[in-house]
Each structure stands twice: as C-alpha cells, then as structure tokens.
Amino acid sequence: MHRAVTVHIVVGLAALATQAMAAEDIAAIFDDIAHLDMRRASLTAARAVKAHPKGSPEWTTATLCLAVSLHHRQPDIKRDKEKAAALYDELIASQVPPPALPLAMIMRGRLADQIDYAGDTLDTATAVGLYERVMQDWPDTFFADVAIYHLTEVELSSMDAEATRVALDRLRAWLARRPNNPMAPVQWTLIGTSSFRPPLEDYAGAIEAFEKAIAIGLPEQIPLDAIYWRMGGIAEKSGTNDKAIQFYRKIITEVARSSFGFEAQLRIRALGGDPPELIDPFAETVEARP
C-alpha cells in the first residue's frame, strides 16, 4: 500500500514535470521562431510533437510550429520543405481547430506559391484553392484578409489584363465589405501599385487606391514622400497636373526630411505651379539654445 502510494506520487510528479517542461518548450519555440532561429525551433518542436498525443491542442500547436520552422529553416532544401508540406497537409486533413487550421492553410499556400529551393516549381492552383477556402470558411477574420491579399498577389503575377482586373475587383469588393479590416491599408496600396503599371495602366484607379490607403492610415514609421512622389508621377501620366502639383506640394509641406523635396519643387515649376519653400529640417541644429 505504502509502496503503491509512493509510485503514484512519483508518476504524478513526473507527469507534472513533463507538462511543465512541454509548456516551456512551446513558449521557447514561439520565441525562437519570432527571432528567426528556425533551426533551434525545429529541433525543439520535433521533441514537443513526440511528447504529446496526436490530436491534443499541444500536439496541434507543436506540429504547426514544426511545419513553420521546417518551412523557413535555412538552408532551404527540398527535404525540409516536403516535410513541412506534409505536416501542413496533416493538420489540414485532421481539421484541427482555428487558429491552427487557417494558419496552416495560409502557410501551405505560401509554400505552394513561392520558389523555395533550387528546382522548386510553383503550384499556384493549390495555393489559390487554399486561400479561397480560408476566405470561405473564416470570411470575417484576419486570416481571410491575409488570404485574399496573397490570392490577389498570385493572380496579379499572371500579368494578364483580364485576370488582373478580376482580382482587383474582387479585392475592392472585399474592401467594400470589410473597409476597416486590419489589412485594408496594404490591400489598397496593392490595388494602387498594380493598377498604374501594365497591363491595366489605370491611373485614376491607382491614385484613388493610394488616397484611400493614406486616409485609412499607412504605417507612420515609413515616410510618405515616396508614395506622394509616385502619386505625382501617376497624376502627371494621366494628365491631371493639378493633382500632381498637389501631391508634390505634400512632399514639401508634410515630409520634413524628404530627399524628393527639391525635385518636387522642380516638378511643380515645370507644371506651371508655384512651389512652397523647402523646410530645412536641420535649421534647428544651427540655432543656439539660450
């Protein structure tokens, strides 16, 4: 009796220790992946997968981590990518619960629509199918916002005018339905970036898309002068010089340290406008402090 109790306690403690270790392991894997140490992450994740029964939440998380770390482990070799694909497929086939499932589908899509190693080929059909499933099954989520972004990118890469128009129209429709989705700024800029160049050369559509992106709010850490310069150029191409002057003016007045400032002045003058004076961002460094 006494001995049985002792055995139970020992077994219980061992189980607790394993669980505690596993939780630490999972946290460590996420940390390693976040810091791009995919090699270490893959080794820890492989141990974690073995440590948990198949189908358990821990197994699902560990398997997804293992797949992602193999997918992105360097050097990029065929064996790793095939193993990653098999793990994603296993998760998808097992119908694991979200967020693992949509994430596995998006990651699997990325694996299919990119060249990952020497000799790899694109499998856009698989990628498109997976992105569409994410959009269908989780239509009001961030996962779907990401999926439609990648789906549009894949379709744009065909450079076919009709396919491009269809893809951008669908993205516009998505934005009309989910105007404030977290991906909206970058979805609008994708429309802008791909509209003004061949095959569409839709200048007005591009400017409108960029304006919407700016209105929603682009990342503040990246100065807006490059996008204004581009919008000015597009406006010039479309013959709407007033608009061009307006964008060039914004470079001078809104972006303090733009290397485009002087050229914006030149463009405004060339278009018959009167440019504002450049603001010297270093002027303060000249003034003495009392």
Partner 1 sequence: MTLKKFFQVYSGVAILAGAALFAVVRVAYNQITFEAPDVTTIRICHWQLESGFREALQDLIDAYEKEYLERHGEKVRVLQLPVSERGYGQFVNTGLVGGIAPDIIERGFSRVVNDPSYLTRYFLPFGPYIESPNPYNVGTPLEGIPWRQTFSDGLISAYDRELLDYYMIPFSMFTERIYYNKDLYREATGRDDSPTSFLDFINVCNTIRDYAARQQRSLVPLAGSKYQAGVFQRKYTNTFLTDIIRLSDANLDGKCSLFESYQAYRNGVWSFESPALLASWQCTTDIAANFQQGWMAALRDDAVFMFVQGRALMFASGSWDASSLLAQVGDAFEVGVFNFPAPSDHPEYGKFARAMPSEAATGGGIPWGLNRATKHADLCIDFLRFCTTRDHNAQFTSHINWLPIVQGVTLSETLKPFKPRIEGIAGHFDYEISSELRLRAEGGRWQLFSGRMTPLDYAASLAEIYDRTAMEGFRTELEKNRRNMRNMDRIVAGRLLALAAPEASDIAAVERSVMQLLYANQAKTHDLAMDTHFLQTVTQ
CB of 174 vs partner 1, minimal distance in Å: 14
- Closest to partner 1 by CB, 223 or 273: 223
Pick between residue 10 and residue 169 the one whose CB is nearest to partner 1.
Answer: 169
Dist. CA 36–CA 188, nearest whole Å: 29
Closer to partner 1 by CB, 129 or 233: give it: 233
> Taking the complex as a whole, how short is the minimal distance between the CB of residue 4 and partner 1, in angstroms?
35
Alpha carbons 145 and 183: distance in angstroms, whole number:
6
Tell me how far CA of residue 89 lies from CA of 84, 94, 112, 217, 242, in angstroms: 9, 8, 12, 37, 54
d(CA 52, CA 231): 54
Nearest residue (CB) to partner 1, 44 versus 189: 189
Whole-number minimum distance, CB 29 to partner 1, in Å?
9
Query: What are the structure tokens assigned to 72, written together?
Result: 């992105």
Q: How far apart are CA 40 and CA 37, in angstroms?
A: 6
For partner 1, the closer of residues 120 and 132 by Cβ is 120
Closer of 186 and 271 to partner 1 (Cβ):
186
Distance, CA of 64 to CA of 91 (rounded, Å): 8
Q: Within its chain, how far is the Cα of 200 from the centroid?
A: 24
CB of 259 to partner 1, least distance (A): 4
By the 8 A CB rule, do 245 and 273 touch?
Answer: yes
Distance CA 81, CA 38 (A): 13
Q: Which is nearer to partner 1, 9 or 117 (CB)?
A: 117
CB 15, min distance to partner 1, A: 19
> Can you tell me the distance from the alpha carbon of 259 to that of 90, in angstroms, rounded to the nearest whole number?
51
Virtual CA dihedral for 182, 188, 190, 194, nearest 10 degrees? Answer: 170
Q: 10 Å Cβ neighbour count for 53?
A: 7
Minimum CB separation of residue 6 from partner 1 in Å reads 33
Q: How far is the CB of 136 from partner 1 (least distance, A)?
A: 19
Positive or negative CA dihedral for 194, 197, 198, 199? positive
